Homo-oligomer: A and B are copies of this chain.
Amino acid sequence: MTTTQMMKGILDGCLLAIIKDKEVYGYELAEKLEGYGFNSFSEGTIYPLLMRMQKEELVTSTLKKSTAGPKRKYYSLTRKGEQELINFMERWEYLKGNVNRVLNHEAKND
């Protein structure tokens, strides 16, 4: 029962939300996540996840020159990705509500 495990199925939604806000490249995402309060995520997590999301046509990428180092791969949301972000937010609200109810021992009434 670790924080790591708690991120499963949640990190991808977070990436979609960040990418929607503004075109970003992979390396940058780790820093962004820290800015939101997360401990930094491994590149071994972020890169495979981005490639998976591209394969699922949730994001597209374009290469652009970097001031230092190899070319940056900038990601943007596709329409499918925008829809998936909406779905994620719904699932997140659902999860949040349920877990909060469990922790407060409040049965759902509807």
Mask: chain A, 1-24; 1 = CB below 8 Å from B; 0 = not: 111111111101110011001000
Tell whether A82 is near chain B: CB-to-CB under 8 Å: no
Identical copies in the complex? 2
Which of A10, A12, A37, A91 has the largest number of chain B CB atoms within 10 A? A37
Are B102 and A92 touching (Cβ within 8 A)?
no
A96 interfacial contact with B, CB 8 Å? yes
Chain A: residues with Cβ within 8 Å of the partner, total of 40
Chain B residue contacts of A95, Cβ below 8 A = 3, 6-7, 10
B-chain residues with CB within 8 Å of residue A108 when the two chains form the complex:
35-37
Nearest opposing residue in chain B for A2, CB measure: B9
Q: How far is the CA of A103 from the CA of B36 in the complex (A)?
A: 10
Q: Which residues of A contact B (CB under 8 A)?
A: 1-10, 12-14, 17-18, 21, 33, 35-38, 84, 87-89, 91-92, 94-99, 101-103, 105-108
Which 4 A/B pairs are nearest by Cβ-Cβ distance? A5-B9, A8-B8, A6-B9, A37-B108
